[in-house]
C-alpha cells in the first residue's frame, strides 16, 4: 500500500514535469485502476485547468484522426504543445486503436511537444467519460497547451464527452445528408463548429447546404455564436488553417461563457463520481446480492413498487 502511494507521488511529479513515459504510465493507470487513478488525480488536479480542450467527434471513418493530425501540425507551427486522446473503435480485424497509434506516432514521433494516445472504446472501468476526462487532465497537468479529445460521436457516452470540451467540432462527410436529420436530435446541438471533411468527394457543397439549412431552423440570439460550416480535406490539409482560425475565433468569442461551461462539466463529473461511489457503497455495505435479487423479484411480481423499494434502501444507506 505505502509503496504504491510512494510510486504514485513520484509518478505525479514526473507527469507534472511533462515526462512522456510518466504520461503514458499515468493514462494506463487511469484505464486499469480506478482507485489508483483517483489518487493520481488528487495529486495533479491543482495544476490543471490551463489547457484548452478541443473535442472532435463524428461518425466512424469520416477522417477525424487524419484531421486531428493536421490540427496537431498546425498547432505546433503556432508553437503550442498538444496532447491527444483518441477513442478509436477497436476491431481485432482493422487493428483499430493500435494501428492508428502507430501511424500517428510516426508522424510526430520526434516532437516532444506532442503526446498522442489512443484508447479502446470498450472496457473502461468507471466508463469512457471518466477515462477520457482524466487522461485529458493528465495531459493538462503535463503542461500541454491544447488537449484534443477524439471520439466517435454515435453513443450517448461520446456525446457527453464532446459536450464537456471547451469547443466541440463535429466532423461529417459528403453524402450523409440524410444522416444530418437523424443526428440532429443528439449531436447537432453540441457542435460549435461543423466540418465537412472529404471535400474532394462529390456532394460536399450539398452537405454544407444541408447543415446550413438545419441551422437555419434554429434561432441564434444576438451576440450568440452561430456554428460555422467549414470544408476540409484532411488528407491534403486543405481547409485546416481556416479551421484553426475558426477555433481561435470561437475561443475568443466564447471566453465570457467558458467558466460557466467548465463549471457545468465540473458539476457533471462530481455527480458521476458521487453516484458511482454511492452505488458502490450500496453494493458493499447496504444491499447484498441476495437481498437485491429478492427485492427485484418482489417488484417484478408486483408485490412491491420500485419507488417504495428505493426509498427504503435510501433510508438504510443513510443510516450506515
Ligand atoms: N478522400 C478523402 N479521404 C480522407 C480524407 N480524410 C480522411 N480520409 C480517409 O478516410 C479514412 C478514415 O480516416 P480516419 O482519419 O481514420 O477516420 P476516423 O474518423 O478517425 O475513423 P474512426 O476513428 O475509425 O471513426 C482513411 O482512409 C483516410 O485516409 C479526405 O479529406 N478525403
Ligand atoms: Mg479515428
Instruction: Inform me whether the pLDDT recorded for 1 exceeds 50.
Output: no
pLDDT mean over 224-249: 96
91 Cα: distance to centroid of ligand 2 (angstroms) = 12
- Backbone angle region of 39, left / alpha / beta, with phi > 0 → left and psi within -120 to 50 → alpha: alpha
The model's confidence at residue 272, banded by pLDDT at 50, 70 and 90, is: confident
Q: Do 193 and 246 sit in the same domain of this protein?
A: yes
What's the number of domains the chain is made of?
2
Q: Is residue 13 a part of any domain in this protein?
A: no
The residue among 206, 231, 256 that closes a domain is: 256
Tell me which residue has its CA closest to atom 23 in ligand 1.
88
The model's confidence at residue 162, banded by pLDDT at 50, 70 and 90, is: low
96 Cα: distance to centroid of ligand 2 (angstroms) = 8
Closest ligand 1 atom, residue 68 Cα: 15
Question: What is residue 96's predicted lDDT score, i.e. its pLDDT?
Answer: 47
The residue among 256, 287, 306 that closes a domain is: 256
CB of 65 within 6 A of ligand 1: the answer is yes
Q: Do 222 and 112 sit in the same domain of this protein?
A: yes
Q: Is residue 44 a part of any domain in this protein?
A: no
Residue 67 gets which letter from DSSP?
A: H
Question: What is residue 118's predicted lDDT score, i.e. its pLDDT?
Answer: 85
Give the C-alpha separation, 211 to 196, whole Å.
Answer: 9
Phi, psi of 73 (to 5 degrees): -60, -45
Helix/strand/coil for 177: helix
Question: What is residue 246's predicted lDDT score, i.e. its pLDDT?
Answer: 98
Q: Do 233 and 283 sit in the same domain of this protein?
A: no
The pTM score is 0.87
Closest ligand 1 atom, residue 197 Cα: 31
For a substitution probing ligand 1, which of 55, 58, 61 has the most ligand atoms within 8 Å of its CB? 61
The model's confidence at residue 93, banded by pLDDT at 50, 70 and 90, is: very low
Give me the domain span that covers residue 165: 49-256
More confident: 232 or 104: 232
200 Cα: distance to centroid of ligand 1 (angstroms) = 12
In what helix (H) or strand (E) does residue 194 lie, and over which residues does it extend? strand 193-196
Decide the pairing of beta strands 114-120 and 229-231: unpaired
Alpha helices in 45-121 (DSSP H): 64-77, 96-107
Write the pLDDT tens digit of every residue in 97-145. 555 555 555 567 778 899 998 887 665 656 777 888 999 999 999 999 9
Q: Is residue 26 a part of any domain in this protein?
A: no
Give the C-alpha separation, 210 to 187, whole Å.
Answer: 15
Q: Do 134 and 64 sit in the same domain of this protein?
A: yes
Alpha helices in 108-238 (DSSP H): 128-141, 156-163, 177-184, 204-216
Question: What is residue 184's predicted lDDT score, i.e. its pLDDT?
Answer: 56
Q: Which three cell numbers stand for residue 121?
A: 472504446
Tell me which residue has its CA closest to atom 1 in ligand 1.
198
CB of 198 within 6 A of ligand 1: the answer is yes
Amino acid at each position: 500500500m505505502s509503496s504504491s502511494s510512494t510510486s504514485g507521488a513520484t509518478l505525479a511529479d514526473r507527469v507534472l514535469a511533462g515526462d512522456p513515459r510518466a504520461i503514458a504510465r499515468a493514462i494506463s493507470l487511469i484505464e486499469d485502476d480506478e482507485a489508483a487513478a483517483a489518487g493520481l488525480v488528487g495529486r495533479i488536479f491543482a495544476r490543471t485547468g490551463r489547457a484548452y480542450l478541443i473535442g472532435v467527434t463524428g461518425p466512424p471513418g469520416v477522417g477525424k484522426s487524419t484531421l486531428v493530425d493536421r490540427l496537431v501540425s498546425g498547432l505546433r507551427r503556432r508553437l503550442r504543445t498538444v496532447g491527444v486522446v483518441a477513442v478509436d473503435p477497436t476491431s481485432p480485424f482493422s487493428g483499430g486503436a493500435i494501428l492508428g497509434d502507430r501511424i500517428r506516432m510516426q508522424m510526430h514521433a520526434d516532437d516532444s511537444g506532442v503526446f498522442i494516445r489512443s484508447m479502446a472504446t470498450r472496457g473502461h472501468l468507471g466508463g469512457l467519460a471518466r477515462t477520457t476526462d482524466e487522461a485529458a487532465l493528465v495531459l493538462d497537468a503535463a503542461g500541454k497547451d491544447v488537449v484534443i479529445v477524439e471520439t466517435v460521436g454515435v453513443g450517448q457516452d461520446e456525446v457527453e464527452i464532446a459536450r464537456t470540451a471547451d469547443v466541440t467540432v463535429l466532423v461529417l462527410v459528403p453524402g450523409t445528408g440524410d444522416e444530418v436529420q437523424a443526428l440532429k436530435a443528439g449531436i447537432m446541438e453540441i457542435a460549435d463548429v461543423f466540418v465537412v471533411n472529404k471535400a474532394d468527394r462529390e456532394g460536399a457543397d450539398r452537405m454544407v447546404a444541408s447543415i446550413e439549412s438545419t441551422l437555419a431552423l434554429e434561432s441564434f440570439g444576438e451576440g450568440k455564436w452561430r456554428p460555422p460550416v467549414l470544408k476540409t480535406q484532411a488528407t491534403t490539409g486543405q481547409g485546416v488553417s481556416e479551421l484553426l482560425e475558426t477555433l481561435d475565433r470561437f475561443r475568443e468569442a466564447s471566453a465570457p461563457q467558458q467558466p460557466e461551461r467548465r463549471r457545468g462539466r465540473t458539476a457533471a463529473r462530481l455527480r458521476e463520481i458521487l453516484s458511482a461511489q454511492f452505488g458502490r457503497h450500496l453494493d458493499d455495505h447496504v444491499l447484498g446480492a441476495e437481498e437485491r435479487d429478492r427485492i427485484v423479484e418482489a417488484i417484478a411480481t408486483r408485490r412491491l413498487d420500485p419507488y417504495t423499494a428505493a426509498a427504503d434502501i435510501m433510508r438504510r444507506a443513510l443510516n450506515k
